[in-house]
Chain A
Amino acid sequence: MDAEISLRVDGEAHRLTVDTRTTLLDALRERLGNTSPKKGCDHGQCGACTVLLDGERALTCLALAVAYDGAEVVTADGLAADGELHPVQQAFLDRDAFQCGYCTPGQVCSAVGVLDEVRRGWPSHASPDLTGDPELSHDEVAERMSGNICRCAAYVNIVPAVQQAGGQAS
């Protein structure tokens, strides 16, 4: 069954027809040709499909496109829309925080979300004190980034990259 929806993707407005079954990930990749978010598992188990959805990090493989009619999506590509890399992207380059690069757009979007969540004072499982203000310690960043699997295992470079982008010396 088809439905017409509108999406704003990386700053550009789109009207498109999707199957009600189409996920946001497939809408982006297969309908709009934006292949920046990747499909690693299609079941919420890897994080490769992460984008910023209405400003928050989200998995697009478990979101039905129809349910997000009118949403604003920013992909990793859109983070560098004006041609200049986002500080998180620059930090990933500087720290060699990837190898094959397949998890990377998801990691980058997730990291942007993490920095925002930390700024808002959200706690994590690794927070030593639930009521305090979180810091960008190794454990905090590693826990918060754990929804992004990197099979190449660039984790020890990803954490400092996120810290660097968050403006912390490390």
Chain B
Amino acid sequence: MKPFAFARPADVAEAVRTVAADPAAVFLAGGTNLVDHLKLGVATPDVVVDVRRLTSREIADTADGGLRMGAAVTNSELAADRRVRERYPVLAQALLAGASGQLRNAATTGGNPLQRTRCVYFSDVTTPCNKREPGSGCSAIGGYTRYHAVLGVPPTPPGPTAPDTCIATHPSDMAVALAALDAQVQVLGPHGERTIPFVELHRLPDGDPSRDTVLEHGDLITAIDLPALPLAVNSQYRKVRDRASYAFALVSVAAALEVADGVVRDVRIALGGVAHKPWRATAAEEALRGAPATEESYRAAAAAELAGAVPQPGIDDGNAFKIPLVGRTLIAVLRDLTPSEA
């Protein structure tokens, strides 16, 4: 681990100034991802700026009937909040499906969506990785791809030495729920405040896999807002993983469904573990709106979303299984969310 200075500014404005002023400065919240990466040599900052006690630790009702979740609210507190449990069960479930009790006590609302990929090559500084070291190549192509993307990847694999390839997935569970819930991200940057729709926060590799999100250096997440979304009362997060707990998703599905008279009135779907970002399943949503709330529609919606999926070959048969797996999981979740009288 490289030495670094530790700064605890007086307020968020100073924190943003401090980071903005130094290209090698980073924010620290719960530290469960950053400290991991400091030890691995994946993150090598000169200055670590502690914002854990600066941003808000409140969950406040908003004027439009939604919730504002301060960046310092821990994953545990958020999952335990009555309003979240009752009005946005998909979010509580996603949080509770993530990491472990101890980690959720430290992990924050601001830090969780900004955690970086769990690609084993990204974490191992002795192997090439375009995300960690732009231009060095992608060790995952043809390697251990079980936890890698099938959506948002080029139809023909570019080869391991291509300088801007990346087939990593975003590992957060919480983020998948937030993507489904039309959340908004409140950002304080060097040039002031702005709001970013959560679905636009994360990006595809698009030529620069080193950037996970659209945030600029020095941008601080101060809060994340949930809109009033009545259909979210009927929502669910389903995570499929290699062990029953304390494991990242192979695939996951966040969905909210509103059915009336046997017809899908409205729906929100996001998929996890399948792409470089939490994957808002707009094709599936479109296919479902107005369609009969039947297994057949659900199957068609899954097929529509996964039409462009590309399996990644690799060790132990690669990850082709994820395409049927996420499809089946989506269908199962929608089936579960369908009111029995429908």
Contacts and interface: CB of A to CB of B under 8 A. Distances in A.
Nearest to A146: B245
A125 B245 contact: yes
B3 A21 contact: yes
Nearest to A21: B1
A147 B3 contact: no
Contact of A144 (B1, B28, B101): B101
A64 B48 contact: yes
Interface residues of A, number: 41
A42 B62 CA distance: 40
Interface in A127-153: 127, 130-131, 142-144, 146-149
A122 B100 CA distance: 14
A44 B3 contact: no
Interface in B1-60: 1, 3-6, 28, 31-32, 35-36, 38-40, 48, 50, 52
A47 B102 contact: yes
A57 B96 contact: no
Interface stretch (A27-35, A94-102, A109-117): A109-117
Nearest to B98: A125
A63 interface: yes
Contact of B32 (A57, A59, A110): A59
A120 B80 contact: yes
B76 interface: yes
A62 B101 contact: no
A67 interface: yes
A61 to B, nearest CB: 8
B175 interface: no
Nearest to A51: B102
B61 interface: no
Interface of A: 1, 3, 19-21, 23, 42-44, 47, 50, 56-59, 61-64, 66-67, 110, 113-114, 117, 120-125, 127, 130-131, 142-144, 146-149
24 contacts: A3-B6, A20-B4, A43-B39, A44-B36, A50-B102, A59-B106, A62-B31, A62-B103, A62-B106, A63-B35, A64-B28, A66-B50, A113-B102, A113-B105, A114-B101, A123-B79, A123-B92, A123-B96, A125-B245, A130-B92, A130-B93, A143-B245, A147-B100, A149-B246
Interface of B: 1, 3-6, 28, 31-32, 35-36, 38-40, 48, 50, 52, 76, 79-80, 82, 85-86, 89, 92-93, 96-97, 99-103, 105-106, 244-246
